[in-house]
């Protein structure tokens, strides 16, 4: 999701719980400094639309036309 804000903090900086509905991700910058990046909420995604693959995979890529919705969707099939 798009980032909403970024804030650099130091070790003595206190972080309070954010009630604005944004998630926060902490990433290291330099020694003694951190950056808080706040993102918009991610919309729900069906678990069958997410895949993690690790290895020497080959893939075929094409698209499929859905006649009812008149949309064309990308399609990628992986195999070893």
Three-state secondary structure string covering 36-51:
EEEECCCCCCCHHHCC
- Residue 30 · residue 13 · CB < 8 Å: no
pLDDT tens-digit profile of 21-75?
544 555 554 566 777 888 888 888 777 777 777 888 898 999 989 888 899 999 8
Integer Cα distance of 23 and 39 in angstroms = 6
Predicted TM-score (pTM) of this structure: 0.36
């Amino acid at each position: 999701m798009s980032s909403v804000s970024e804030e650099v903090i130091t070790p003595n900086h206190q972080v309070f719980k954010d009630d604005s509905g944004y998630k926060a991700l902490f990433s290291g910058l330099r020694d003694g400094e951190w950056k808080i990046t706040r993102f918009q909420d991610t919309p729900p995604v069906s678990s069958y639309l997410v895949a993690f693959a690790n290895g020497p995979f080959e893939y075929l890529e094409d698209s499929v036309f859905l006649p009812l919705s008149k949309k064309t969707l990308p399609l990628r099939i992986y195999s070893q």
